[in-house]
Amino acid sequence: MYEHWAANIWVVLATFLAVGACVLIHYEGLNLVSRALARRHDSERRRKVLYGILGVLILHIVEIWLFGLTFYGLLLLPDTGAVTGAHPLALFDAVYLASMCYTTVGFGDVSPVGPIRFLAGTSALTGFVMITWSASFTFLEMERFWRR
């Protein structure tokens, strides 16, 4: 039986907080982007799609950093796990790991070990949902602004 329950609890709590923050950031960010696009002049219709894409990309980068900071913070705690391929773990290593998880690219030169894997798997699911949400948003914005 696993004897480091406190570490598991910290990982689960931090994961739920990161996922909740990510969803709120995405929701409010898409709302902000949508309102900003609607306020732009009609002569800039095609440019609105570009601005929408840039807004969505910025949201994803912020969310990746959020997960990266969560990885980094949790890995400072004892018994939460480690990241193979990054010794010692630097902040940018944690952000890189978060980007690999969030975009569901998978593990290569760095990979999580121990309880921190729960955050890795959950950030992959969250990233998949956020990316598909962004694709739907982009499609709807293109439908609205792309046509002449």
Instruction: Find all residues with CB under 8 Å of 131, minimum gap 6, and list them.
Output: 60, 103
Q: Percent of the chain having pLDDT more than 70? A: 93
Classify residue 106 as left (phi > 0), alpha (psi -120 to 50) or beta.
Answer: left
Average pLDDT, the chain: 92
The Cα–Cα gap between 59 and 9 comes to: 28
What do you get for the CA distance between the two ends of the chain, in Å? 64
pLDDT tens per residue, range 51-81: 899 999 999 999 999 999 999 999 999 999 9
pLDDT at 1: 45
pLDDT tens per residue, range 82-98: 999 988 899 999 999 99
Q: Is 12 exposed, middle or buried (0-12, 13-18, 19+ CB in 10 A)?
A: middle
Domains in the chain: boundaries: 5-145
pLDDT-derived band at 147 (thresholds 50, 70, 90) equals low
pLDDT-derived band at 3 (thresholds 50, 70, 90) equals low
State whether CATH 1.10.287.70 applies to domain 5-145.
yes
pLDDT at 18: 98
The Cα–Cα gap between 28 and 75 comes to: 29
The highest-confidence range among 5-19, 33-47, 132-146, by mean pLDDT, is: 5-19
pLDDT at 144: 77
pLDDT-derived band at 15 (thresholds 50, 70, 90) equals very high
102: how many CB neighbours lie within 10 A of its CB? 27
Asked whether the predicted pLDDT for residue 148 surpasses 80, the reply is no
pLDDT at 38: 85
